[in-house]
Structure formats: structure tokens, C-alpha cells
Structure 1
Amino acid sequence: MKVLGITGSPREKSNTEYFVRIALGELEAQGITTELISLREKKIQACRGCYGCIEAKTCTLEKDDFDEVFDKMLEADGLIIGAPVYNSSTPAGVKALLDRAGFLSRWIRNEMKDNKESYNWKGTAFSGKVAAPITVARRAGQNFAFAELLLWLTVNDFIVAGSHYWNVGVAGKGGAVDAENDSEGIGIMKHMATNMAHIIKQLKK
């Protein structure tokens, strides 16, 4: 059993990474193997909507770090996507990864239909995996960014693990790296991780 944590902040040792690590630490305590990937260290181009993946069943853009991250997403039983809130949305690196991963995961399992035909979707390459979003903001914008991640997870057929509140952290006033002061947020992430571990274990029975 393995959960992959992806942190989308371009800052080193960011508040977002802190909260994702809190969740991964709780999963480790529950007996789940974890891995953390920082998109800060990756180069991932934006999706061009070329539709090359429909026939190739792989992304046909010039090679960058996308394949490495996507393969780890496919291998994992669970996924945590953490993103800081920039102008009420997720940063460009997160969006680039999710656009390409979502598009490819759908066409791995399905074929393009003629425009006169309707779809009976066969799921995606992520179907049945467990996932949760985490967003971090100094103050406002959480709802839009959190919803952005949640919409991506649900349209890609993940089973979403919740907590006793939305998985949001409050940190970064004046650019500070101070997520450790949000005790409520820490509790939310730990409870979400406990729920995720429970779901994965049930699915593995």
C-alpha cells in the first residue's frame, strides 16, 4: 500500500510541503508507505490539446518530467495533491501536471467517438484510487483552489477522502513559512490521512 504526495509550491520547504508531510507522516504511522514529489524540482510543460495521446496512449509532447510523475501516480494506491493558493487558484505547475495527467488517464482507457456517438466511459487509469486535495493560503481564495483540485479528482474517478473540515491550511502572512502554527490545520490533515489509510486498507482486503 502506497500513497504519493505531490506538492505544487515553487518555494523550498514551503507551507504546502509542511502540510503534505504531516499527512504522509500520519499515513506512515498507519502502516502505509509514502513518497513525496515536489513539482518545484520538475519541468512539466502545459498540455497543448494535441490529442496525440488518444492513439499513442502516452503523452506525445517533447519529453520532460511528466512521465516520471505520471508513472508514480499510476503506481500509487493513494494520492495527495497539495497546492498553495495563487489568485484564488492553483499555481501553473500544478495545473500543467493535472491537465496532462487527466487527459491521458482518460484516453488510456477509452477511445475517441465520432461526434454523432455518445460516450459510455470505461473509467480512467486512476479509477478506484483514493485521493485528497490540500490547499494552503494566507487568508482568502481557498474555496476556489480547493474546488479546482476536488473537481479534478472526481472527474478522474478517484475515491476522495475527506476530513472533519476541508483540507485547508492557513499560513504565510507576509510570505512567512509558518504552517506549524496552524494547529487546527494540522489536525485536519492528520484526520484526513487516517481516513485515507482506512479506505485503502478496506479496498485491499
Structure 2
Amino acid sequence: MKVLLVNGSPHQNGTTRAALEVVADTLTKEGVENEIFWPGAKPISGCIGCHGCAKLGRCVLNDGRVNEFAELASSADGFIFGTSVHFANDTGHITSFMHRVFYSDFVGRGGATFRLKPAAGVAVARRAGTTSAFDQLNRVFTICEMPVVSSRYWNVAFGHDGEELMQDAEGLWTLRTLGRNMAFFLKCIKAGLEHGVKLPEQEEPVLTNFIR
């Protein structure tokens, strides 16, 4: 079992990384392999709607390590996406990154990479805006048939930097709980599949437009 944790901050070793490391350490203690992935600090283009992924099976753009992550994701069992808060929203980095990763998988691979794999979001901030950023992350998971793993509280933590975040006792408790819950659900899924529980049947898509 492996979990990919994505640092959606343009800062490689900032507050978001510190929060994800708390979750990663807990996953390790629970016997779950994990890796923190950083898309980088260079600008990441948003999806341009070209539908080239339908032919290539991947995004036609090569910035932001999007296609590199997509390849890693195919062998992962769970995902945690972390973001710092910019104007009460996710960072532009993680927003563009996720849109392209998930859309190219949906169009190019029928959503097979992420379907029914547990996911969670983590939002960190100096003071406020975490709940709206957290909600933004979750909306991606729920449109892609990904079970959302929760904690004892919303998955948020506070601090101006990593050192200050380590003083947020409740935030750290929340992050550790998230790590344990993610490990639990991965173990349950693994046990179910090993005992003959089959994945839900997929129907053919039915798409309608809101035009009368």
C-alpha cells in the first residue's frame, strides 16, 4: 500500500510540507509506504481544454510535473493533497495541477487511475481561509468517485511557517488522526479485495446539458 502526498505550495519546505510530514510519519508508523511529491515552483498552466489527452492518454502540456505524477499515481493506493491558503482558496499551483491531472485521466483513461482510491485534502494558513480551501480540494475528489477520508476535525492546521505549525497542538492531532484513518481505510479495501469483494459495476456515462 502506498499513499502519495502532494505539496501544493510553491515553497518546497514551507508550512504545507511540514503538515504533510506529520501525516506521512503517521502513515509510516501504520505500515503504509508514502511519498511527498512537489510539483515545483515554476508557473503551472491551467487546463486549456484542447482534449489532446483523449488521444495521448496524458496531458499535452509538460509543465508542473503533471504527467510525471500521473504515472506515479497509477500504482498508488491513496492520495493526500495539501495546499497553503491564498485569498481563502487553494494555491494557483495546486489548482492548475489537479485540474490537469484529473481531467487528463478522466478523458484519456476513463478515470481509472483515481476511481475508488481514498483521498484527503489538507489546508494550512497563517490565520483564516482554510475551510473554503479545504472544500475546494474535496470537490475534485467527489466528482472522481474517490472516497474522502476525514479526521476528527476538518483537515486544517495553522502557522506562519513549519516551526510555528508545530505549536498547533490541535492541528497536529487532526493530521495524525487523518494519517491513521487513511491507513485504516486502505487496509480495509485491501482485505475486502483479497476476500472476494468486487469493485462496483460501472454504467455507461449519461451526459446531459442544461439547455431547454
- Identical aligned pairs, as a percentage? 30
Which of 155, 159, 172 lines up with 1:171 in the alignment? 159
Amino acid at match of 1:7: N
Letter in 1 for 2:181: N
**Is the contact made by 1:43 and 1:66 (CA closer than 8 Å) also made in structure 2?**
no
Counterpart for residue 126 of structure 2: 138
Q: CA deviation at 1:85?
A: 0.3
Return 75-84 or 100-109, whichever deviates more: 100-109
Which AA in structure 2 matches 1:196?
M
Give CA deviations for 1:131-167 in whole Å, capped at 9, x if unaligned. Answer: 1100001122112111100001111111111011000
CA contact (8 A) 2:123 2:133 kept: yes
**Letter of the aligned partner of 1:163 in structure 2?**
S
Give the 5 Å matches for 1:37-116: 37-40=37-40, 44-62=44-62, 65-110=65-110
**TM-score w.r.t. structure 2 length?**
0.84
Residue of 116, 124, 127 corresponding to 2:115: 127
Distance in 2, matches of 1:33 and 1:176, equals 23
SS of the residue corresponding to residue 40 of structure 1 reads coil
| Structure 1 partner of 2:166 | 180
Change (3 A) 1:143 1:55: same
Structure 1 length as normaliser, TM-score? 0.86
User: Are 2:187 and 1:193 aligned?
Assistant: no
- How many Å apart are 1:55 and its aligned residue? 2.9
Contact 2:130–2:156 (CA under 8 A) maintained in structure 1: yes
Aligned length: 191
Structure 2: runs of 5 or more not aligned: 192-212
Q: Is this contact kept in 1: 2:118–2:182, CA < 8 A? A: yes
C-alpha distance in 1, partners of 2:84/2:52? 31
Please tell me the root mean square deviation across aligned C-alpha atoms, in Å: 1.8
